[in-house]
Amino acid sequence: MQGFSKKVLVLGSNSFSGSHFVDAALNQGMNIVGISRSKELATVFLPYKWKPIKNNQFSFFQYDLNHDLDRILEIIFDYKPDYIVNFAAQGMVAESWDNPDQWFMTNTLSAVKLHQRLKDCVFLKKFVQVSTPEVYGSSEGNVKESKVYNPSTPYAVSKAAIDMSLMTFFRQYNFPVVFTRSSNVYGPGQQLYRIVPKAILFFKTGRKLELHGGGRSVRSFIHIKDVVQGTLKAMHMGKPGKIYHFSTSDPLSIRSLVKMIAKHTGVLFNKNVIDVNDRSGKDKAYLLDDSRTSGELGWQAEISLELGIKETIEWINHSIDDLKKEKFEYVHTQ
């Protein structure tokens, strides 16, 4: 695991964002160690496997932060990464109401135990905490990084708690943490229960799509490649203790998004969509102000929503036989 000037350890490398980050970092010649609690997913969900990888450039370990902390720390202290990027979390919002203790165990308590053991690491240049705009709660206007947290679900509370804990570590120990928050991320390789791939697959397989709350919630959708490039910039250039937002300036309702997908898949929206009641605690809107990110990191989103939707449709068209074998709905694992 030696030989590259920049060594990165990615927690949650199996996740949608984590796997795309691994791919982008490998493309830049970095040496990557990936850790996730599940074994590596099917190739269709792992973009770093869509082309050949040098054997010594990427190593994967299946360990769970809740149960294998000592083994994870052994890897960290042996590997001595320059950077740790943390995508690992229980991430579903609505489902966090069913087992909130599991969300707090993974997202907060186990994470605090990890940070406590890492706080004196002299080799660590930066710890990137991938956070969420859910910590702000339902908001009006463009949300700045200084906005007071107002989480409305167990998931959001668990993420706000660990972010606040990490900020105390920065102030007390000068722990080199930077935070990233992205508006709704989409793109090829995303889990099939997320709205963009789910809508595409439902329309292509003749299933009717349920829109919670009629799809009135407003979001700003951003392509995963834009987010990954921003995360790399935050890792290299971000100032410890700072929060960086990745967003676009084109908010739209989920209903409008699904209409766009229906148009590009050649189905009639009204015949393929059913309005249902909204989910508990769902925020009506949160739009992120990314002026700090563009000013300090020189970052801006480049991929238009229409182009990104077309790219995601192409991924599904190319992989449709494999994707039909996968579950379309979220399956919770502890």
CB atoms within 10 A of CB 291: 12
pLDDT of residue 4: 39
Spans of all domains in the chain: 7-185+222-246, 188-219+250-281+303-324
One pLDDT digit (tens) per residue for the chain, 334 residues: 343 358 999 999 999 999 999 999 999 999 999 999 999 999 999 999 998 876 679 999 999 999 999 999 999 999 999 999 999 999 888 899 999 999 999 999 999 999 999 999 999 999 999 999 999 998 777 899 999 999 999 999 999 999 999 999 999 999 999 999 998 999 999 999 999 999 999 999 999 999 999 999 888 999 999 999 999 999 999 999 999 999 998 889 999 999 999 999 999 999 999 999 877 655 666 689 999 999 999 999 999 999 999 999 999 999 999 998 888 887 777 6
pLDDT of residue 3: 38
Rounded to whole angstroms, the Cα distance separating 24 from 277 reads: 39
Query: In this structure, are residues 187 and 20 in contact, taking their beta carbons and an 8 Å threshold?
Result: yes
Rg (CA), the chain: 19
DSSP per residue, 91-110: --SGGGGT-HHHHHIIIIIH
pLDDT of residue 61: 98
> 83-86 and 7-11: which strand pairing?
parallel
Name all contacts of 52-57 with Cβ < 8 Å and 24+ positions apart.
Answer: 53/26, 56/1, 56/3, 56/31, 57/4, 57/26, 57/30, 57/31, 57/32
Domain 7-185+222-246 grouped into CATH 3.40.190.90: no
Q: How far from each other are the two terminal CA atoms of the chain, in whole angstroms?
A: 31
What is the homologous superfamily of the domain 188-219+250-281+303-324 according to CATH? UDP-galactose 4-epimerase, domain 1 (3.90.25.10)
